[in-house]
Amino acid sequence: MLITFGCIAAFFAVIVAILQLSGIRDRSFTEYAVGGRSFGANYQAMSFLNTWYPGAMFTAFGGMAASAGVISFYVLSYSLLTVVLMYLMARPVWVWGKAFDLRTQPDLLALRFNSRHIKTIAAVIGIVSGIPWLVLGMQALGTLFQHMSLGALSFSEAVIVGVAIIALRQFWTVRMGMRGVVISDMAQGVLAYIIGSAVLIGLIVWMVVAQGISFGSLDQRMFNIPSVGSKEGPLYVFSLILTGAIGGWCWPYIFVRLFTADGVNSLKKSAALAVPLSLIFGVSLLVFGMLGSQVAGVAAQPNDVWFIVSQAAGGLWLLGLAGVIVLAASMGHTDGNIQATGAQIANDLVGNYWDLDQRQLIVIAKLGMLGLTILSSWLACLELPALFQLAVLAYQGIIQLAVPQFLGIFWQRGNKHGAIAGMVAGFAVAVTLELAHPGYLPWAYGLTSGAVGLLVNLALYVVAAYFIPQTEEERRRVEELFALVKERRAAGFRLVSAAPPTA
Protein backbone atom coordinates (compact mmCIF):
# COMPACT_ATOMS: atom_id res chain seq x y z
CA MET A 1 0.00 0.00 0.00
CA LEU A 2 3.01 2.31 0.31
CA ILE A 3 3.27 2.16 -3.48
CA THR A 4 -0.41 2.55 -4.36
CA PHE A 5 -1.31 5.16 -1.74
CA GLY A 6 2.05 6.82 -2.31
CA CYS A 7 1.09 7.43 -5.95
CA ILE A 8 -2.23 8.93 -4.84
CA ALA A 9 -0.54 11.17 -2.26
CA ALA A 10 2.07 12.40 -4.77
CA PHE A 11 -0.60 13.28 -7.33
CA PHE A 12 -2.75 15.08 -4.75
CA ALA A 13 0.28 17.08 -3.59
CA VAL A 14 1.05 18.16 -7.18
CA ILE A 15 -2.53 19.39 -7.73
CA VAL A 16 -2.51 21.33 -4.46
CA ALA A 17 0.86 22.87 -5.35
CA ILE A 18 -0.48 23.99 -8.75
CA LEU A 19 -3.50 25.63 -7.10
CA GLN A 20 -1.48 27.28 -4.34
CA LEU A 21 1.08 28.71 -6.77
CA SER A 22 -1.62 30.15 -9.04
CA GLY A 23 -2.36 32.76 -6.37
CA ILE A 24 -5.91 33.52 -7.54
CA ARG A 25 -7.87 36.33 -5.92
CA ASP A 26 -11.19 36.99 -7.64
CA ARG A 27 -12.43 40.58 -7.55
CA SER A 28 -15.97 40.00 -8.82
CA PHE A 29 -18.62 37.31 -8.93
CA THR A 30 -18.12 36.97 -12.71
CA GLU A 31 -14.48 36.10 -12.11
CA TYR A 32 -15.45 33.64 -9.41
CA ALA A 33 -18.27 32.01 -11.42
CA VAL A 34 -16.79 31.88 -14.94
CA GLY A 35 -13.10 32.62 -14.44
CA GLY A 36 -13.37 36.10 -15.95
CA ARG A 37 -13.94 34.53 -19.42
CA SER A 38 -10.18 34.29 -19.78
CA PHE A 39 -9.21 30.78 -20.88
CA GLY A 40 -7.82 29.73 -24.25
CA ALA A 41 -8.55 26.66 -26.37
CA ASN A 42 -6.17 24.23 -24.62
CA TYR A 43 -7.58 24.95 -21.17
CA GLN A 44 -11.14 24.85 -22.55
CA ALA A 45 -10.66 21.46 -24.20
CA MET A 46 -9.18 19.86 -21.10
CA SER A 47 -11.74 21.48 -18.82
CA PHE A 48 -14.58 20.11 -20.95
CA LEU A 49 -13.09 16.59 -21.04
CA ASN A 50 -12.28 16.56 -17.34
CA THR A 51 -15.87 17.50 -16.51
CA TRP A 52 -17.56 15.40 -19.18
CA TYR A 53 -15.73 12.11 -18.53
CA PRO A 54 -15.90 11.25 -14.80
CA GLY A 55 -13.80 8.61 -13.08
CA ALA A 56 -16.80 6.30 -13.36
CA MET A 57 -15.98 6.00 -17.07
CA PHE A 58 -13.23 3.55 -16.12
CA THR A 59 -15.53 1.53 -13.87
CA ALA A 60 -19.12 1.87 -15.11
CA PHE A 61 -18.51 2.11 -18.86
CA GLY A 62 -15.36 0.01 -18.79
CA GLY A 63 -17.45 -2.56 -16.94
CA MET A 64 -20.30 -2.20 -19.42
CA ALA A 65 -17.92 -2.90 -22.31
CA ALA A 66 -16.59 -5.95 -20.43
CA SER A 67 -20.05 -7.35 -19.74
CA ALA A 68 -22.28 -6.16 -22.61
CA GLY A 69 -19.85 -5.49 -25.47
CA VAL A 70 -20.36 -3.12 -28.40
CA ILE A 71 -23.58 -1.58 -27.06
CA SER A 72 -21.27 0.40 -24.76
CA PHE A 73 -20.05 2.37 -27.80
CA TYR A 74 -23.18 4.48 -27.62
CA VAL A 75 -21.37 6.60 -25.03
CA LEU A 76 -18.66 7.42 -27.58
CA SER A 77 -21.28 8.30 -30.22
CA TYR A 78 -23.13 10.78 -28.06
CA SER A 79 -19.91 12.20 -26.60
CA LEU A 80 -18.63 13.11 -30.08
CA LEU A 81 -22.02 14.61 -30.99
CA THR A 82 -21.87 16.66 -27.80
CA VAL A 83 -18.57 18.18 -28.92
CA VAL A 84 -20.10 19.01 -32.32
CA LEU A 85 -22.92 20.81 -30.51
CA MET A 86 -20.31 22.86 -28.63
CA TYR A 87 -18.99 24.08 -31.98
CA LEU A 88 -22.50 25.07 -33.11
CA MET A 89 -23.48 26.72 -29.82
CA ALA A 90 -20.22 28.60 -29.29
CA ARG A 91 -21.03 31.89 -30.99
CA PRO A 92 -24.52 32.79 -29.69
CA VAL A 93 -23.87 31.57 -26.14
CA TRP A 94 -20.50 33.28 -25.75
CA VAL A 95 -21.57 36.53 -27.41
CA TRP A 96 -24.68 36.86 -25.25
CA GLY A 97 -22.70 35.78 -22.21
CA LYS A 98 -20.08 38.46 -22.73
CA ALA A 99 -22.53 41.20 -23.72
CA PHE A 100 -24.93 40.72 -20.82
CA ASP A 101 -22.52 39.34 -18.19
CA LEU A 102 -24.21 35.93 -18.05
CA ARG A 103 -22.70 33.52 -15.51
CA THR A 104 -24.94 30.45 -15.59
CA GLN A 105 -27.20 28.41 -17.87
CA PRO A 106 -30.42 29.82 -16.27
CA ASP A 107 -29.01 33.31 -16.91
CA LEU A 108 -29.09 32.55 -20.63
CA LEU A 109 -32.68 31.27 -20.50
CA ALA A 110 -33.78 34.31 -18.51
CA LEU A 111 -32.22 36.61 -21.10
CA ARG A 112 -33.65 34.79 -24.11
CA PHE A 113 -37.20 34.53 -22.75
CA ASN A 114 -37.21 37.73 -20.64
CA SER A 115 -38.38 35.84 -17.57
CA ARG A 116 -37.04 35.85 -14.05
CA HIS A 117 -39.02 32.78 -13.06
CA ILE A 118 -37.65 30.54 -15.80
CA LYS A 119 -34.26 31.09 -14.21
CA THR A 120 -35.49 29.65 -10.91
CA ILE A 121 -37.16 26.64 -12.56
CA ALA A 122 -34.09 25.78 -14.64
CA ALA A 123 -31.80 26.17 -11.62
CA VAL A 124 -33.91 23.87 -9.44
CA ILE A 125 -34.04 21.19 -12.16
CA GLY A 126 -30.28 21.43 -12.68
CA ILE A 127 -29.33 21.35 -9.00
CA VAL A 128 -31.70 18.53 -8.02
CA SER A 129 -30.72 16.44 -11.04
CA GLY A 130 -27.02 16.85 -10.37
CA ILE A 131 -26.96 15.61 -6.77
CA PRO A 132 -27.44 11.86 -7.49
CA TRP A 133 -24.61 11.93 -10.03
CA LEU A 134 -22.37 13.79 -7.61
CA VAL A 135 -23.00 11.16 -4.93
CA LEU A 136 -22.48 8.33 -7.43
CA GLY A 137 -19.13 9.87 -8.42
CA MET A 138 -18.05 9.95 -4.79
CA GLN A 139 -19.17 6.37 -4.23
CA ALA A 140 -17.23 5.24 -7.32
CA LEU A 141 -14.11 6.22 -5.40
CA GLY A 142 -14.91 3.30 -3.09
CA THR A 143 -13.90 0.88 -5.85
CA LEU A 144 -10.72 2.88 -6.42
CA PHE A 145 -9.55 2.93 -2.81
CA GLN A 146 -10.54 -0.66 -2.19
CA HIS A 147 -8.12 -1.68 -4.94
CA MET A 148 -5.49 0.81 -3.75
CA SER A 149 -5.66 -0.86 -0.32
CA LEU A 150 -5.15 -4.27 -1.99
CA GLY A 151 -8.35 -5.47 -0.37
CA ALA A 152 -7.45 -4.37 3.16
CA LEU A 153 -10.36 -1.92 3.26
CA SER A 154 -13.97 -3.00 2.97
CA PHE A 155 -16.03 -1.23 0.33
CA SER A 156 -17.73 0.94 2.96
CA GLU A 157 -14.39 1.92 4.48
CA ALA A 158 -12.97 2.64 1.02
CA VAL A 159 -15.94 4.91 0.22
CA ILE A 160 -15.31 6.88 3.42
CA VAL A 161 -11.61 7.31 2.52
CA GLY A 162 -12.51 8.44 -1.01
CA VAL A 163 -15.14 10.87 0.21
CA ALA A 164 -12.72 12.33 2.76
CA ILE A 165 -10.11 12.99 0.07
CA ILE A 166 -12.53 14.49 -2.44
CA ALA A 167 -14.08 16.62 0.33
CA LEU A 168 -10.61 17.91 1.27
CA ARG A 169 -10.05 18.83 -2.37
CA GLN A 170 -13.14 21.05 -2.25
CA PHE A 171 -11.33 23.47 0.09
CA TRP A 172 -9.56 24.88 -2.98
CA THR A 173 -12.68 24.70 -5.16
CA VAL A 174 -14.65 26.76 -2.63
CA ARG A 175 -11.82 29.22 -2.11
CA MET A 176 -10.81 29.74 -5.75
CA GLY A 177 -13.98 29.24 -7.78
CA MET A 178 -13.96 28.53 -11.50
CA ARG A 179 -10.37 29.64 -12.15
CA GLY A 180 -9.10 27.02 -9.76
CA VAL A 181 -11.33 24.37 -11.37
CA VAL A 182 -10.13 25.09 -14.91
CA ILE A 183 -6.44 25.37 -13.95
CA SER A 184 -6.52 22.02 -12.15
CA ASP A 185 -8.54 20.52 -15.02
CA MET A 186 -5.54 20.99 -17.29
CA ALA A 187 -3.22 18.84 -15.16
CA GLN A 188 -5.95 16.33 -14.29
CA GLY A 189 -7.12 16.11 -17.92
CA VAL A 190 -3.65 15.46 -19.32
CA LEU A 191 -3.20 12.65 -16.81
CA ALA A 192 -6.68 11.12 -17.18
CA TYR A 193 -7.22 11.31 -20.94
CA ILE A 194 -3.79 11.59 -22.59
CA ILE A 195 -1.67 9.46 -20.26
CA GLY A 196 -4.77 7.38 -19.52
CA SER A 197 -5.28 6.69 -23.24
CA ALA A 198 -1.62 5.70 -23.58
CA VAL A 199 -1.99 3.24 -20.68
CA LEU A 200 -5.18 1.82 -22.21
CA ILE A 201 -3.47 1.28 -25.56
CA GLY A 202 -0.52 -0.33 -23.82
CA LEU A 203 -2.81 -2.70 -21.93
CA ILE A 204 -4.64 -3.59 -25.17
CA VAL A 205 -1.29 -4.48 -26.77
CA TRP A 206 -0.37 -6.57 -23.70
CA MET A 207 -3.65 -8.49 -23.87
CA VAL A 208 -3.31 -9.15 -27.60
CA VAL A 209 0.42 -10.01 -27.67
CA ALA A 210 1.08 -11.57 -24.26
CA GLN A 211 -2.33 -13.08 -23.52
CA GLY A 212 -3.50 -13.97 -27.02
CA ILE A 213 -6.85 -12.24 -26.55
CA SER A 214 -8.62 -10.95 -29.66
CA PHE A 215 -12.14 -10.06 -30.81
CA GLY A 216 -12.36 -13.56 -32.24
CA SER A 217 -12.09 -15.02 -28.75
CA LEU A 218 -15.08 -13.05 -27.44
CA ASP A 219 -18.55 -14.48 -27.03
CA GLN A 220 -20.89 -13.63 -29.92
CA ARG A 221 -23.33 -11.92 -27.54
CA MET A 222 -20.73 -9.16 -27.06
CA PHE A 223 -21.53 -7.97 -30.61
CA ASN A 224 -25.32 -7.82 -30.25
CA ILE A 225 -27.08 -4.45 -30.58
CA PRO A 226 -30.79 -4.04 -29.72
CA SER A 227 -32.81 -3.72 -32.91
CA VAL A 228 -36.09 -4.84 -34.47
CA GLY A 229 -37.40 -7.81 -32.55
CA SER A 230 -35.27 -7.21 -29.45
CA LYS A 231 -36.91 -6.82 -26.05
CA GLU A 232 -35.66 -3.21 -25.81
CA GLY A 233 -37.10 -2.16 -29.17
CA PRO A 234 -35.71 -0.70 -32.42
CA LEU A 235 -35.48 2.88 -31.13
CA TYR A 236 -33.64 2.07 -27.92
CA VAL A 237 -30.08 2.81 -29.10
CA PHE A 238 -31.25 5.86 -31.05
CA SER A 239 -32.92 7.16 -27.91
CA LEU A 240 -29.77 6.63 -25.81
CA ILE A 241 -27.60 8.52 -28.30
CA LEU A 242 -30.10 11.34 -28.85
CA THR A 243 -30.77 12.04 -25.19
CA GLY A 244 -27.08 11.64 -24.36
CA ALA A 245 -25.97 14.14 -27.01
CA ILE A 246 -28.48 16.90 -26.30
CA GLY A 247 -28.45 16.17 -22.58
CA GLY A 248 -24.74 16.90 -22.29
CA TRP A 249 -25.25 20.64 -22.58
CA CYS A 250 -28.21 20.59 -20.20
CA TRP A 251 -25.96 19.86 -17.20
CA PRO A 252 -25.06 23.20 -15.58
CA TYR A 253 -21.45 22.17 -14.92
CA ILE A 254 -20.97 21.36 -18.64
CA PHE A 255 -22.82 24.40 -19.97
CA VAL A 256 -20.75 26.85 -17.94
CA ARG A 257 -17.71 25.84 -20.02
CA LEU A 258 -19.18 27.98 -22.81
CA PHE A 259 -18.78 31.05 -20.60
CA THR A 260 -15.19 30.49 -19.41
CA ALA A 261 -13.50 30.88 -22.82
CA ASP A 262 -11.78 34.10 -23.85
CA GLY A 263 -13.61 34.15 -27.18
CA VAL A 264 -15.64 32.29 -29.78
CA ASN A 265 -12.54 31.13 -31.63
CA SER A 266 -11.16 29.54 -28.47
CA LEU A 267 -14.41 27.63 -28.00
CA LYS A 268 -14.36 26.36 -31.58
CA LYS A 269 -10.68 25.41 -31.37
CA SER A 270 -11.34 23.60 -28.10
CA ALA A 271 -14.06 21.58 -29.85
CA ALA A 272 -11.58 20.69 -32.59
CA LEU A 273 -9.08 19.55 -29.94
CA ALA A 274 -11.68 17.65 -27.90
CA VAL A 275 -12.90 15.52 -30.83
CA PRO A 276 -9.68 13.54 -31.48
CA LEU A 277 -8.87 13.30 -27.76
CA SER A 278 -12.38 12.05 -27.03
CA LEU A 279 -12.26 9.61 -29.93
CA ILE A 280 -8.91 8.10 -28.93
CA PHE A 281 -9.84 7.88 -25.25
CA GLY A 282 -13.33 6.47 -25.87
CA VAL A 283 -12.29 3.84 -28.41
CA SER A 284 -9.31 2.78 -26.28
CA LEU A 285 -11.41 2.42 -23.13
CA LEU A 286 -14.24 0.46 -24.74
CA VAL A 287 -11.98 -1.85 -26.77
CA PHE A 288 -9.93 -2.38 -23.60
CA GLY A 289 -13.08 -3.29 -21.67
CA MET A 290 -14.24 -5.78 -24.28
CA LEU A 291 -10.88 -7.53 -24.50
CA GLY A 292 -10.38 -7.29 -20.74
CA SER A 293 -13.48 -9.45 -20.24
CA GLN A 294 -11.23 -12.44 -21.03
CA VAL A 295 -8.72 -11.70 -18.26
CA ALA A 296 -9.05 -13.86 -15.15
CA GLY A 297 -11.30 -12.34 -12.47
CA VAL A 298 -13.03 -9.78 -14.73
CA ALA A 299 -16.08 -11.89 -15.56
CA ALA A 300 -17.00 -12.01 -11.87
CA GLN A 301 -16.36 -8.26 -11.33
CA PRO A 302 -16.63 -6.46 -14.71
CA ASN A 303 -16.69 -2.98 -13.13
CA ASP A 304 -13.19 -3.64 -11.78
CA VAL A 305 -11.72 -4.44 -15.22
CA TRP A 306 -9.47 -1.34 -15.19
CA PHE A 307 -7.82 -2.24 -11.90
CA ILE A 308 -7.68 -6.02 -12.43
CA VAL A 309 -5.98 -5.81 -15.83
CA SER A 310 -3.63 -3.02 -14.73
CA GLN A 311 -2.38 -5.03 -11.76
CA ALA A 312 -2.09 -8.22 -13.83
CA ALA A 313 -0.05 -6.46 -16.52
CA GLY A 314 2.19 -4.15 -14.50
CA GLY A 315 1.98 -5.01 -10.81
CA LEU A 316 1.59 -2.48 -8.02
CA TRP A 317 3.19 0.49 -9.79
CA LEU A 318 0.80 0.27 -12.73
CA LEU A 319 -2.08 -0.30 -10.33
CA GLY A 320 -1.06 2.88 -8.51
CA LEU A 321 -0.98 4.81 -11.80
CA ALA A 322 -4.41 3.40 -12.70
CA GLY A 323 -5.73 4.70 -9.38
CA VAL A 324 -4.25 8.14 -9.96
CA ILE A 325 -5.87 8.31 -13.42
CA VAL A 326 -9.32 7.49 -12.02
CA LEU A 327 -8.88 9.99 -9.19
CA ALA A 328 -7.84 12.71 -11.67
CA ALA A 329 -10.99 12.13 -13.71
CA SER A 330 -13.19 11.98 -10.60
CA MET A 331 -11.82 15.20 -9.15
CA GLY A 332 -12.52 17.16 -12.34
CA HIS A 333 -16.14 16.03 -12.54
CA THR A 334 -16.82 16.56 -8.83
CA ASP A 335 -15.14 19.98 -8.70
CA GLY A 336 -17.06 21.19 -11.75
CA ASN A 337 -20.37 19.99 -10.38
CA ILE A 338 -19.93 21.58 -6.95
CA GLN A 339 -18.61 24.87 -8.33
CA ALA A 340 -21.43 25.28 -10.88
CA THR A 341 -24.07 24.42 -8.28
CA GLY A 342 -22.71 26.95 -5.80
CA ALA A 343 -22.79 29.64 -8.48
CA GLN A 344 -26.40 28.76 -9.33
CA ILE A 345 -27.50 28.93 -5.70
CA ALA A 346 -26.08 32.44 -5.42
CA ASN A 347 -26.92 33.75 -8.89
CA ASP A 348 -30.16 32.00 -9.86
CA LEU A 349 -31.93 31.35 -6.55
CA VAL A 350 -30.89 33.84 -3.87
CA GLY A 351 -29.62 36.57 -6.22
CA ASN A 352 -32.65 36.22 -8.47
CA TYR A 353 -34.95 37.77 -5.88
CA TRP A 354 -32.64 39.81 -3.62
CA ASP A 355 -30.30 42.59 -4.62
CA LEU A 356 -26.79 41.42 -3.68
CA ASP A 357 -23.42 43.01 -4.27
CA GLN A 358 -20.43 41.15 -5.69
CA ARG A 359 -19.00 40.17 -2.32
CA GLN A 360 -22.35 38.85 -1.07
CA LEU A 361 -22.79 36.73 -4.19
CA ILE A 362 -19.34 35.19 -3.74
CA VAL A 363 -19.98 34.46 -0.06
CA ILE A 364 -23.34 32.79 -0.80
CA ALA A 365 -21.76 30.74 -3.61
CA LYS A 366 -19.04 29.56 -1.23
CA LEU A 367 -21.58 28.67 1.45
CA GLY A 368 -23.64 26.79 -1.14
CA MET A 369 -20.58 24.84 -2.29
CA LEU A 370 -19.63 24.04 1.29
CA GLY A 371 -23.16 22.87 2.07
CA LEU A 372 -23.32 20.72 -1.07
CA THR A 373 -19.96 19.14 -0.25
CA ILE A 374 -21.13 18.22 3.25
CA LEU A 375 -24.51 16.91 2.01
CA SER A 376 -23.09 14.83 -0.85
CA SER A 377 -20.27 13.46 1.34
CA TRP A 378 -22.81 12.35 3.95
CA LEU A 379 -25.08 10.74 1.33
CA ALA A 380 -22.13 8.98 -0.30
CA CYS A 381 -21.32 7.24 2.99
CA LEU A 382 -24.85 5.83 3.29
CA GLU A 383 -26.18 2.67 1.70
CA LEU A 384 -28.61 3.96 -0.92
CA PRO A 385 -29.84 1.01 -3.01
CA ALA A 386 -31.99 3.16 -5.32
CA LEU A 387 -29.29 5.76 -6.00
CA PHE A 388 -28.45 4.60 -9.53
CA GLN A 389 -32.13 4.56 -10.44
CA LEU A 390 -32.39 8.12 -9.12
CA ALA A 391 -29.39 9.11 -11.25
CA VAL A 392 -31.04 7.66 -14.38
CA LEU A 393 -34.26 9.41 -13.42
CA ALA A 394 -32.35 12.68 -13.03
CA TYR A 395 -30.91 12.34 -16.54
CA GLN A 396 -34.38 11.91 -18.05
CA GLY A 397 -35.41 15.08 -16.21
CA ILE A 398 -32.41 17.29 -16.94
CA ILE A 399 -32.71 16.86 -20.71
CA GLN A 400 -36.02 18.71 -20.61
CA LEU A 401 -33.94 21.90 -20.50
CA ALA A 402 -32.85 21.09 -24.07
CA VAL A 403 -36.01 22.36 -25.81
CA PRO A 404 -36.01 25.97 -24.55
CA GLN A 405 -32.21 26.02 -24.61
CA PHE A 406 -31.54 24.89 -28.18
CA LEU A 407 -34.66 26.32 -29.81
CA GLY A 408 -34.11 29.50 -27.87
CA ILE A 409 -30.59 29.82 -29.26
CA PHE A 410 -31.33 28.95 -32.89
CA TRP A 411 -34.99 29.99 -33.46
CA GLN A 412 -36.39 33.47 -32.91
CA ARG A 413 -39.91 32.22 -32.33
CA GLY A 414 -40.87 30.89 -28.93
CA ASN A 415 -41.84 32.61 -25.70
CA LYS A 416 -41.59 32.19 -21.96
CA HIS A 417 -45.05 30.60 -21.76
CA GLY A 418 -44.12 27.71 -24.04
CA ALA A 419 -40.65 27.41 -22.54
CA ILE A 420 -41.90 27.11 -18.96
CA ALA A 421 -44.95 24.94 -19.75
CA GLY A 422 -42.94 22.60 -21.97
CA MET A 423 -40.09 22.26 -19.51
CA VAL A 424 -42.32 21.54 -16.52
CA ALA A 425 -44.64 19.18 -18.41
CA GLY A 426 -41.73 17.34 -20.04
CA PHE A 427 -40.04 16.90 -16.68
CA ALA A 428 -43.24 15.58 -15.09
CA VAL A 429 -43.87 13.14 -17.96
CA ALA A 430 -40.28 11.89 -17.95
CA VAL A 431 -40.24 11.30 -14.18
CA THR A 432 -43.64 9.59 -14.16
CA LEU A 433 -42.78 7.26 -17.05
CA GLU A 434 -39.33 6.43 -15.67
CA LEU A 435 -40.83 5.42 -12.33
CA ALA A 436 -43.41 3.25 -14.11
CA HIS A 437 -41.07 1.76 -16.75
CA PRO A 438 -37.39 2.08 -15.73
CA GLY A 439 -34.89 2.07 -18.59
CA TYR A 440 -37.09 2.09 -21.69
CA LEU A 441 -40.72 2.03 -22.79
CA PRO A 442 -41.77 -1.20 -24.53
CA TRP A 443 -44.92 0.41 -25.96
CA ALA A 444 -42.86 3.25 -27.47
CA TYR A 445 -40.54 0.97 -29.48
CA GLY A 446 -37.75 1.38 -26.95
CA LEU A 447 -37.77 5.15 -26.50
CA THR A 448 -36.66 6.26 -23.06
CA SER A 449 -38.94 8.23 -20.76
CA GLY A 450 -36.83 11.32 -21.35
CA ALA A 451 -37.31 11.09 -25.12
CA VAL A 452 -41.09 10.89 -24.74
CA GLY A 453 -40.94 13.82 -22.32
CA LEU A 454 -38.99 15.78 -24.95
CA LEU A 455 -41.77 15.20 -27.50
CA VAL A 456 -44.36 16.62 -25.08
CA ASN A 457 -42.00 19.47 -24.23
CA LEU A 458 -41.37 20.28 -27.90
CA ALA A 459 -45.07 20.17 -28.79
CA LEU A 460 -45.99 22.66 -26.07
CA TYR A 461 -43.12 24.97 -26.99
CA VAL A 462 -44.04 25.06 -30.70
CA VAL A 463 -47.79 25.41 -30.07
CA ALA A 464 -47.21 28.32 -27.70
CA ALA A 465 -44.80 29.91 -30.20
CA TYR A 466 -47.55 30.11 -32.83
CA PHE A 467 -50.69 30.58 -30.72
CA ILE A 468 -49.28 33.09 -28.23
CA PRO A 469 -47.56 35.62 -30.50
CA GLN A 470 -44.75 37.77 -29.16
CA THR A 471 -45.59 41.40 -28.45
CA GLU A 472 -44.05 43.93 -30.78
CA GLU A 473 -41.63 44.98 -28.04
CA GLU A 474 -40.61 41.37 -27.30
CA ARG A 475 -40.19 40.55 -31.00
CA ARG A 476 -37.91 43.54 -31.45
CA ARG A 477 -35.91 42.60 -28.35
CA VAL A 478 -35.34 39.04 -29.61
CA GLU A 479 -34.42 40.29 -33.09
CA GLU A 480 -31.80 42.54 -31.51
CA LEU A 481 -30.36 39.58 -29.59
CA PHE A 482 -29.96 37.55 -32.77
CA ALA A 483 -28.67 40.58 -34.68
CA LEU A 484 -26.00 41.01 -32.03
CA VAL A 485 -24.67 37.51 -32.78
CA LYS A 486 -24.46 38.31 -36.50
CA GLU A 487 -22.68 41.58 -35.83
CA ARG A 488 -20.03 39.88 -33.73
CA ARG A 489 -19.01 37.57 -36.57
CA ALA A 490 -16.62 40.33 -37.60
CA ALA A 491 -13.37 40.78 -35.70
CA GLY A 492 -13.57 42.57 -32.37
CA PHE A 493 -16.25 42.84 -29.76
CA ARG A 494 -17.92 45.86 -28.23
CA LEU A 495 -19.54 45.32 -24.85
CA VAL A 496 -23.21 46.34 -24.71
CA SER A 497 -25.55 46.49 -21.78
CA ALA A 498 -29.13 45.41 -21.26
CA ALA A 499 -31.76 45.61 -18.57
CA PRO A 500 -32.28 42.39 -16.60
CA PRO A 501 -35.43 40.34 -17.25
CA THR A 502 -38.38 41.55 -15.23
CA ALA A 503 -41.25 39.14 -15.83
Distance of CA 381 to the CA centre of its chain: 22
Question: If you average pLDDT over residues 102-113, what whole number do you get?
Answer: 95
Encode pLDDT of 236-259 as tens digits. Answer: 899 989 888 988 899 999 999 999
Map 382-399 to HEC letters: CCCCCHHHHHHHHHHHHH
CA dist 200 and 207 (Å) reads 11
Q: How confident is the model at residue 435 (pLDDT cuts 50, 70, 90)?
A: confident
CA dist 455 and 478 (Å) reads 25
CA dist 477 and 462 (Å) reads 19
> For residue 391, which of 202, 221, 208, 247 has the smallest C-alpha distance?
247
Instruction: Please tell me the predicted confidence (pLDDT) of residue 496.
Output: 41
User: Is residue 417 included in any domain, yes or no?
Assistant: no
Half-sphere exposure for 455 (CA within 13 Å, toward CB): 7
Encode pLDDT of 290-349 as tens digits. Answer: 999 999 999 999 989 999 999 999 999 999 999 999 999 999 888 889 999 999 999 999
**Helices (DSSP H) in 149-191: which residue ranges?**
155-189
Q: How confident is the model at residue 425 (pLDDT cuts 50, 70, 90)?
A: very high
Total count of domains within the chain: 1
CA distances from 80 to 293, 371, 403 (A): 25, 34, 20
Lowest mean pLDDT among 126-135, 285-294, 377-386: 377-386
Instruction: Please tell me the predicted confidence (pLDDT) of residue 497.
Output: 41
Q: Phi and psi for 383 in degrees, rounded to 5?
A: -90, 110
Q: Give the chain's end-to-end CA distance (angstroms, integer).
A: 59
Is the predicted pLDDT of residue 19 greater than 90, yes or no? Answer: no
User: Is residue 497 included in any domain, yes or no?
Assistant: no
Encode pLDDT of 471-489 as tens digits. Answer: 899 999 999 999 999 887 6
Is the predicted pLDDT of residue 101 greater than 90, yes or no? Answer: yes
- Residue partners of 267: CB distance under 8 A and separation at least 6: 41, 44, 86, 87, 90, 94, 258, 261
User: Is residue 502 included in any domain, yes or no?
Assistant: no
CA distances from 313 to 132, 209, 434 (A): 34, 12, 41
User: Is residue 474 included in any domain, yes or no?
Assistant: no
Instruction: Please tell me the predicted confidence (pLDDT) of residue 495.
Output: 42
Instruction: Please tell me the predicted confidence (pLDDT) of residue 227.
Output: 82
Work out the percent of the chain whose per-residue pLDDT is above 90: 61
CA dist 225 and 68 (Å) reads 9
Task: Give me Rg for the CA atoms of the chain.
Answer: 23
CA dist 89 and 188 (Å) reads 26
User: Is residue 171 included in any domain, yes or no?
Assistant: yes
Instruction: For Cα atoms 404, 99, 114, give the angle at the middle one, nearest 5 degrees.
Output: 40
Instruction: Please tell me the predicted confidence (pLDDT) of residue 320.
Output: 96
Instruction: For Cα atoms 165, 191, 59, give the angle at the middle one, nearest 5 degrees.
Output: 65
User: Is residue 459 included in any domain, yes or no?
Assistant: no
Question: If you average pLDDT over residues 172-194, what whole number do you get?
Answer: 90
User: Is residue 426 included in any domain, yes or no?
Assistant: no
Is the predicted pLDDT of residue 500 greater than 60, yes or no? Answer: no
pTM score: 0.90
With beta carbons less than 8 A apart as the criterion, state whether 391 and 376 touch. no
Range of the domain at 161: 2-386
Strand-pair partners of 261: 39
Decide which of 496 and 123 is more confident: 123
- In the chain, how long is the greatest CA-to-CA distance? 72
CATH, residue 314: 1.20.1730.10
Instruction: Please tell me the predicted confidence (pLDDT) of residue 498.
Output: 44
Instruction: Please tell me the predicted confidence (pLDDT) of residue 92.
Output: 93
> For residue 295, which of 124, 486, 62 has the smallest C-alpha distance?
62
User: Is residue 336 included in any domain, yes or no?
Assistant: yes
Decide which of 123 and 489 is more confident: 123
Decide which of 388 and 407 is more confident: 407
